A and B are shown apart, each in its own frame.
Chain A
Amino acid sequence: MSSDPVARRNAGLRRISTITKGTVAGGLVVTGALSALAARSFSGTSAPSTASTASTQTQTQTTTATTTPSSDYSNSYSSSQLQSPSYSVRSSGGSGRVSSGGS
Chain B
Amino acid sequence: MRDRHDFHALGTGCVVLVTDPTRLGAAVDEVTAEIADVDRACSRFRPDSELEAVNNNAGTAVDVSPLLIDAVRVALRAAELTDGDVDPTVGEAMRVLGYDRDFGTLPKHGEPIATLVRIPGWQKIEVDERRCTVRVPRGVRLDLGATAKALAADRAATRAAAVAGCGVLVSLGGDLAMAGPPPDRGWAVRVTDDHAAPTDADGQTVLLQGGGLATSSTTVRRWQRGGEELHHVVDPRTGLPADEVWRTVSVVAATCVDANIASTAAIIRGADAPAWLDAQGLPARLVLPEGSVVRAGGWPE
Binding site for B on A (CB under 8 A): 49-54, 56, 58-60, 62-68, 71-74, 76-77, 80-103
Known: A50-B80, A97-B169. 15 other contacts (CB 8 A): A49-B73, A51-B127, A62-B131, A66-B66, A66-B69, A68-B155, A85-B211, A91-B206, A98-B169, A98-B189, A98-B199, A99-B189, A100-B195, A101-B203, A102-B193
Known contacts A73-B154, A89-B300; A96/B189 CB under 8 A: yes
B271 sits at the interface (CB 8 A): no
Binding site for A on B (CB under 8 A): 4, 12-13, 15, 17, 66-67, 69-70, 72-74, 76-77, 79-81, 122-132, 154-155, 158, 169, 171-177, 185-201, 203-211, 213-221, 248, 250, 252-255, 257-258, 261-262, 280-283, 297-301
A73, A88, A94: which contacts B188 (Cβ < 8 A)? A94
Q: How far is the CB of A102 from chain B (nearest CB, A)?
A: 2
- With a cutoff of 8 Å between Cβ atoms, the chain B residues found around residue A102 in the complex are 174, 193-195, 215-221, 248
A59, B127: Cβ atoms under 8 Å? yes
A49, A81, A84: which contacts B81 (Cβ < 8 A)? A81
A59, A73, A87, A103: which contacts B255 (Cβ < 8 A)? A73
- With a cutoff of 8 Å between Cβ atoms, the chain B residues found around residue A50 in the complex are 73-74, 76-77, 80
- With a cutoff of 8 Å between Cβ atoms, the chain B residues found around residue A92 in the complex are 185, 188, 205-207
A76, B189: Cβ atoms under 8 Å? no
A82, B282: Cβ atoms under 8 Å? yes
A103, B220: Cβ atoms under 8 Å? yes
- Chain B residue with the shortest CB-CB distance to A68: B70
Known contacts A59-B127, A99-B190; A88/B155 CB under 8 A: no
Q: Which 9 A-B pairs have the closest CB atoms?
A: A102-B217, A103-B173, A96-B190, A83-B254, A62-B129, A95-B200, A102-B220, A91-B300, A101-B195
